[in-house]
Amino acid sequence: MKKVELLSPAGDLERLKIACLYGADAVYIGGKEYSLRANANNFSLEEIKEACEFAHFYQKRVYLTLNIVFHNEDIAGVYKYIEDVVNLGIDAFIVSDLFLVSYIKKNFPVEVHVSTQDSVTNYETVNFLKQEGVDRVVLAREVGRLDIKEIIEKTGVDIEVFIHGAMCTFVSGRCVLSNYLTLRDSNRGGCAQICRFGFSLNDTNDNFSMAVKDLNMSSFLKDMLDLKIASFKIEGRMRSPYYLAVVLSSYRRIIDAYYEGNLTNDLLEKEEHILSMVSNRENSTHFYDKEADMTDQYYIGRQEASNQDYLGIIFEKENNLYTIRQRNYFKVLDDVEIITPNMDIISYKIKNIYNKDMESIQVANQADSILKMEIPFDLPIFSMIRKPYLK
């Protein structure tokens, strides 16, 4: 049985490495040009080469987004750019402008995936794209379960569906609010997330917004696996490394348990709890099982609390002495959990903390400090320390 692909965003090299180690089968990245997440760090040509080498070593695939809506001035350099990144090892392109499909398929041995930006919602469009040589279609986020099922049955094309992350208030990302209010083109990488701004109504302080809640499909994942969707996509090239590690490892455990025949309600409930803890917004399933409505959207009084549970990441070790980049406050004798790329979740009481000069301290209270800790068991690089999630 062919397993579904778990596809992760990666906004930079560190996130790409974490995604590969924490359960992703493939990652999607943006270059310095032609990408809709222009505010992410994104990848230079040298970093694309390193990204492909790292991912391929772990038998993962790398997809590059060319998903802006091209204007005339954007076209001049794109053909040379495509050739360069193919030579660096890219496995597929995610495109929105269809002129790229025939050019790539005629000239290079890589896949072409049509982006959700194309708002594909029906099987006839998918069959048309299939005739043009498209290898995969990322469906519009507005497509529900029954339509997904019919599209798969009537096309035989690999279908990719979003399962987790932020949702656009407008049709599959086709928004021009940023263009009007900030002179930044949403569809050429300049989205300022105007829908999340707070607006006053009638000279009040109501703080009205148009933002929708985040997507979280964990409760429907078994049903989605039964549909034979080819790829489950996580949104969030600008999310933190910790967010990626937690979200990917939770979905990895659910997917693996499904194929091993031991996916239980207890496991699903545990992973749903973990996924709810890592998010700083409310979650919804949006269009999958019903028409999205006012319960899937924020209006007034929206709050987004930053996640204070992530305490630090291990990036070096020498025997049992670990070097940590701190994220949030913790202290000696705190009970914590350590999550690892091996999918382990280890409970631990902090015994000691040292600063970078190996001076003993009792409290770690400066974000981004470099600290050291002696931990009496072996942990891989990129293990992360957090407040306890599991009771």
- Of 362, 333, 373, 326, the C-alpha closest to 350 is 333
Query: Virtual CA dihedral for 124, 129, 134, 138, nearest 10 degrees?
Result: -60
Sequence spans of domains, the chain: 5-296, 310-386
Q: How many CA atoms lie within 13 A of 260 on its CB side?
A: 9
Whether pLDDT at 281 is above 80: no
Q: Please say if the pLDDT value at position 38 is more than 60.
A: no
pLDDT of residue 180: 80
CATH entry, 5-296, from 3.20.20.70, 3.40.50.11610, 3.10.110.10, 3.40.50.920: 3.20.20.70
Say if CB 55 and CB 91 are below 8 A apart: no
**pLDDT tier for residue 260 given thresholds of 50, 70 and 90:** very high
pLDDT given at position 39: 57
| pLDDT at residue 248, as a whole number | 97
Domains 5-296 and 310-386 share a fold: no
pLDDT, average across residues 284-307? 74
Convert the pLDDT of each residue in 325-369 to its tens digit.
Answer: 999 999 999 999 999 999 999 999 999 999 999 999 999 998 889
Residue bearing the bigger pLDDT, 224 or 236: 224
CATH topology for 310-386 is Elongation Factor Tu (Ef-tu); domain 3 (2.40.30)
Q: Which tens digits make up the pLDDT trace of 238-255?
A: 788 999 999 999 999 999
Question: What pTM did the predictor assign?
Answer: 0.91
CA–CA distance, 193 with 302 (Å, rounded to integer): 15
